[in-house]
Amino acid sequence: MNQDVIRDSIVNSARDLFSRFGFKKTTMDDIALSMRKGKSSIYYYFKGKEEIFEAVVESEAAELKEKLSEVLRLNSDDPQQQLRQYMAVRLQSIQQLANFYNALRSDYLSHLEFIDRVREQYRNQEIHMLEVILRLGIRKGVYEIVDPRIASLAIVTAMQGMETPIFLGTIQNIEIETRLDAILDIIFHGIIKR
């Protein structure tokens, strides 16, 4: 079997275990057992649990980036729809990409060397993608924004406020849509009476 295929299957098995039991509670023995392999087989491909977790987080980050890039491609003529779809896909991905979002938020993972790098990369990519959407809207005369970077930061902050209840499953999809609509209404129309 190809080494990349085996490595990917280890990452996929570990992904499921990490999302169900968390980083701390998942052991190398658990990963090996889920693969029906000896622990030494897993160590042939990865130095340890941290390296596997890093591969899982990077895999989920790449998956999210691809989903969000697809939103930009599909809605390239409509900046409002682009922003709505971007925010919806991002928020819907939270539960599917549990390890990635856990890595972004959890303080107990901060000791892992790669976490700060992943957090910074994701933050910069997200701000950049939102800036692209906002600048397109400015060029098309849809948005009137003085500083698209600051506006992107504000949108990221608003979305982060919705992450925890989504991740914990305390709000349902219909409520996510309602909250997203409220945020978009404020973004598109403001709160000041005109």
Q: What would the two tokens of residue 143 be?
A: 């948005």
Helix axes 79-96, 98-105, angle to 10 degrees: 90
Beta carbons within 8 Å of 64's beta carbon, 6+ residues apart: 90, 93, 97, 100
What is the per-residue pLDDT across 54-66, written as a single tens digit (0 to 9) for each? 899 888 888 888 9
Q: Which amino acid is at 163?
A: E
Average pLDDT taken over every residue of the chain: 86
Number of neighbouring beta carbons within 10 Å of residue 17: 20
End-to-end CA distance of the chain: 66
CATH of 1-46, one of 1.10.10.60, 1.10.287.1770, 3.30.360.10, 3.40.50.10320: 1.10.10.60
Quote the CATH superfamily of domain 57-189: Tetracycline Repressor, domain 2 (1.10.357.10)
Q: Can you give the pLDDT at residue 72?
A: 85
What is the per-residue pLDDT across 88-128, written as a single tens digit (0 to 9) for each? 888 888 777 777 777 766 766 767 777 778 878 888 999 99
Burial state string for 38-58 with b = 16 or more CB within 10 A and e = fewer than 16? eeeebeebbeebbebbbbbbb
Q: For the chain, which residues make up each domain, given as ranges? A: 1-46, 57-189
pTM for the whole thing?
0.79
